[in-house]
Amino acid sequence: MKNAKWIVLLSCLITVALLACCFIFPFSRTVEAGGTNLITVEFNDSFDRAVVENAMREAGATDVLVLKQVSRTGNTSFEEGTSAQIYFSVPDGTEAKEVYDKAEEILSQTFAFKYPGTLSTLSASLTKQSVISLWPVLIVLVVLLAYAALRFGIRTGVIAAALTLMTGIAVLGVTAIARIGLSHYTIAALLGTAALSELFVFLFAFTKRDFAKRTAGNVTEAAAKRVTVFAVLLSCMAIVGLVSVLILGNAALKGFALTALIGTVFSACAAVFTLPALASLLSKAN
């Protein structure tokens, strides 16, 4: 492959630069999911959810969701309740209490409060238990790397490890720059894209072995072309779904979708450029 050295060198430089970004832009270990500022409030009379939502947005809230509490009065009928659960997010640098105080002032012009409400914040924090629960996934990824080395040779294992590491660092670096923060959602997306990189390496190894049985040509380049087509098609399908979630989902899902989107793009680029270049260099070295 032409310019294989330069492609590998450029990939390494990008990885090192993004690794440095992980230290320059420190991670926040908690990230508030969309609508996880919760207010429970009670009005004197029945209320219109749309009016409450508009008041919250006018006060500066985002991702507003108003749930109406109802009480069962029979087998088939429900009585309109006067209690509401208001989920909302706030822009960076804005206090949730400040937003709600402003919204309460707006709502008081239309509704009478029986109980002014309590504010609580739910977060998708990385607890010790949640970190421990990630170990099985990490073990599976390591086992797959070991299997690749044993089944297809040390070179394939090295390629799989390199691509997985590069993709992981790239995702961490970009999420650090974008201030997405580490949560259950972003870690799940990170591990998923790392597995995607290993999938591309396995496809390359199987394709290369299959081509070696049928042709005497350059099987590395032939296998790389096959993987390129597969990686582009799979990534495009994944990107369409992730962009849909990014547009339509709440902030919690948007954090997951954005991280997965970044990882998918980097995994595809690694499969299209870094994988064949690294395989070519290792084949020449051998």
Q: How would you write the pLDDT of the chain (286 residues) with one tens digit per residue?
A: 678 888 889 999 999 998 898 888 766 544 343 446 777 777 777 777 788 888 888 888 887 877 766 544 444 333 355 777 777 777 777 777 788 788 888 888 877 766 566 666 655 445 555 566 677 888 888 998 999 899 888 888 989 999 999 998 988 888 888 877 666 677 888 888 888 888 899 988 888 888 776 665 677 788 888 888 898 999 999 999 888 888 877 666 777 888 889 999 999 999 888 988 888 888 776 5
State the burial class of residue 10 (Cβ atoms within 10 Å of its Cβ: 0-12, 13-18, 19+). middle
Residue-range domain boundaries for the chain: 4-30+126-285, 37-121
In 3D space, the residue among 280, 236, 281 whose CA is nearest the CA of residue 261 turns out to be: 236
The CATH fold of domain 4-30+126-285: Multidrug efflux transporter AcrB transmembrane fold (1.20.1640)
pTM of the model: 0.65
Alpha-carbon distances, residue 117 vs 66, 75, 108, 141 (angstroms): 13, 30, 13, 47
Q: Please identify, in words, the CATH class of the domain defined by 37-121.
A: alpha beta
Q: Report the distance separating Cα 23 and Cα 128, nearest Å.
A: 22
